[in-house]
């Protein structure tokens, strides 16, 4: 049967790129499996090359002084210009350019918004007001942000730290390429164009504000961080990332998450238990650490019985002896309101592995409990739900170890008959 599929990959700009990657007779033979793997590799390489080209084009436009995506922000407006530099009008929120030759730049917004931005800097530098005090003053005056919302400590801090208010055009502060994690890039990796737009505030005033902000921050010890967090909890009666970020004089919630592994762990260390059950976040982190270990152990054991296995770096699909493919999925132990345990197993129909190895985790979700070897021919649905005691059609695929899988992957030498 002829299979035609499309591969969808997000490039470095969040753009979904779709292209045909598989169009051949797929009869399940080893040759078809190999061809499919080659085509997947070709599709991935095509996406990487296209992402690099798009990123290079964006960097070039940034260096030419043009705006790349995102709202303008309070006190600024996006303006559309043609290829000769003539203005074609202001772009409202949500509007985009329609011609490839057009470009977008930033310009100062209405006079009252520009004056508000300048007042924020004067109050912060000359009067020594904190971000929270400035937000309170703006809200009391009935001033709203560009999103028509009340001001907060975070929105005031954004105005005080964003270089677009002195006309600088900056790009590539963070990266999110090909489904990888968001990465905060170092300043030397930023793409920038100084004085690309008309400034809203004086450069000397802006850098004075940056010096004040940097002077406020220092490296707190773990005890100091926990003491501040506990004091905030006693004041507010509850905690959240937003509460921490909005509190004056508090390090950001990301500091706590980075120092203690997660916000939940920091909460536990000061004796705070959130009303909402966040245990699943810790379990998901554990699964992300456990999954590579299970794959590495499986690969090692297959190679120990003289089998040949290749793990695809992008999909983590195992190609065993060029004969069949294996997908390993971890199923965490969950508990219903009645107290009964169950496991949800997701079958990846997109990869179409020949065998899905479902690893049921123990009640503590710290170690494998048992294994289900589910062949694709018998399980065509997208997922199944297992309980502590299952029907015979499921139990026949259950194993206490993966020795049966290793036996399938082993190569046995046969002596030549005399």
- Give yes or no: residues 158 and 201 share one domain: yes
In the chain, the number of structural domains is 4
**Which domain range does residue 246 map to?**
222-269
Residue 178: its pLDDT value, please? 57
Q: What residue spans of 162-278 are helical by DSSP H?
A: 203-216, 222-236, 241-246, 253-260, 263-269
- Give yes or no: residues 264 and 308 share one domain: no
- Give yes or no: residues 292 and 322 share one domain: yes
- Give yes or no: residues 370 and 261 share one domain: no
Ramachandran assignment for 120, one of left (phi > 0), alpha (psi -120 to 50 degrees), beta (any other): alpha
Which CATH number goes with the domain that contains 379? 3.40.1350
Residue 76: its pLDDT value, please? 92
Residue 5: its pLDDT value, please? 45
- Please say which residue of 269, 299, 332 terminates a domain: 269
Going by the DSSP 8-state scheme, the letter that residue 167 receives in this structure is T
Residue 40: its pLDDT value, please? 81
CA 218 distance to own-chain centroid:
28
Residue 375: its pLDDT value, please? 87
The answer to whether position 69 is within a domain reads: no
Of 124, 122, 86, 132, which Cα lies nearest the Cα of 105? 86
- Give yes or no: residues 258 and 354 share one domain: no
- Give yes or no: residues 139 and 109 share one domain: yes
Residue 235: its pLDDT value, please? 86
Residue 17: its pLDDT value, please? 47
**From CA 203, how far away is CA 215, in angstroms rounded?**
18
Buried b (16+ CB within 10 A) or exposed e, 47-76: beebbeeebeebeebbeebbbbeeebbbbb
**From CA 61, how far away is CA 106, in angstroms rounded?**
14
The answer to whether position 274 is within a domain reads: no
Buried b (16+ CB within 10 A) or exposed e, 274-297: eeeeeeeeebeebeeebeeebbee
- Give yes or no: residues 295 and 403 share one domain: yes
Residue 254: its pLDDT value, please? 75
Residue 150: its pLDDT value, please? 92
Length of the chain: 418
Contact 164, 170 (CB under 8 A): yes
- Give yes or no: residues 83 and 185 share one domain: yes
The answer to whether position 198 is within a domain reads: yes
Residue 417: its pLDDT value, please? 42
The answer to whether position 90 is within a domain reads: yes
- Give yes or no: residues 253 and 299 share one domain: no
Residue 6: its pLDDT value, please? 46
Of 80, 103, 81, which Cα lies nearest the Cα of 92? 80
pLDDT block averages, 10 residues each, the chain of length 418 = 45 48 59 77 82 82 81 90 85 81 89 94 91 92 91 91 90 70 76 88 91 74 88 84 76 80 83 64 62 84 86 83 86 80 80 85 82 82 82 84 85 49
Residue 180: its pLDDT value, please? 60
């Amino acid at each position: 049967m002829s299979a035609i599929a499309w591969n969808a990959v997000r490039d470095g700009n969040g753009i979904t790129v779709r292209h045909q990657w598989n169009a051949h007779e797929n009869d399940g033979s080893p040759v078809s499996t190999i061809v499919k793997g080659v085509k997947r590799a070709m599709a991935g390489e095509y996406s990487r090359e296209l992402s690099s080209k798009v990123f290079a084009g964006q960097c070039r436009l940034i260096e030419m002084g043009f705006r790349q995506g995102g709202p303008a922000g309070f006190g600024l407006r996006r303006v559309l210009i043609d290829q000769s530099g003539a203005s074609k009008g202001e772009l409202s929120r949500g509007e985009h350019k329609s011609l490839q030759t057009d470009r977008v730049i930033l310009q100062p917004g209405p006079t009252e918004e520009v004056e508000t931005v300048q007042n924020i800097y004067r109050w912060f530098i000359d009067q020594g007001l904190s971000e929270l005090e400035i937000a309170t003053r703006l809200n009391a005056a009935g001033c709203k942000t560009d999103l028509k919302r009340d001001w907060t400590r975070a929105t005031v801090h954004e105005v005080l730290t964003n270089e677009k208010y002195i006309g600088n055009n900056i790009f590539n502060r963070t990266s999110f390429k090909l489904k990888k994690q968001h990465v905060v890039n170092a300043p030397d990796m930023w793409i920038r164009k100084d004085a690309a737009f008309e400034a809203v505030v004086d450069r000397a005033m802006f850098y004075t504000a940056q010096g004040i902000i940097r002077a406020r921050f220092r490296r707190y010890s773990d005890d100091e961080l926990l003491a501040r967090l506990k004091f905030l909890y006693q004041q507010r009666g509850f905690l959240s990332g937003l509460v921490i970020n909005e509190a004056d004089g508090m390090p950001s919630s990301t500091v706590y998450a980075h120092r203690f592994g997660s916000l939940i762990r920091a909460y536990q260390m000061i004796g705070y238990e959130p009303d909402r059950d966040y245990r699943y976040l810790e379990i998901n982190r554990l699964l992300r650490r456990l999954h590579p270990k299970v794959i590495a152990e499986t690969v090692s054991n297959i190679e120990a019985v003289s089998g040949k296995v290749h793990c695809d770096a992008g999909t983590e699909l195992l190609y065993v002896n060029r004969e069949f493919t294996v997908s390993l999925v971890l199923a965490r132990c969950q508990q219903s309101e009645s107290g009964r345990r169950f496991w949800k197993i997701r079958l990846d129909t997109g990869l179409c592995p020949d065998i899905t190895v479902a690893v049921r985790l123990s009640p503590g979700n710290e170690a494998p409990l048992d294994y289900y070897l589910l062949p694709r021919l018998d399980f065509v649905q997208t997922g199944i739900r297992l309980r502590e005691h299952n029907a015979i059609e499921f139990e026949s695929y259950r194993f206490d170890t993966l020795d049966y899988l290793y036996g399938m992957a082993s190569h046995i030498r046969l002596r030549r008959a005399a």
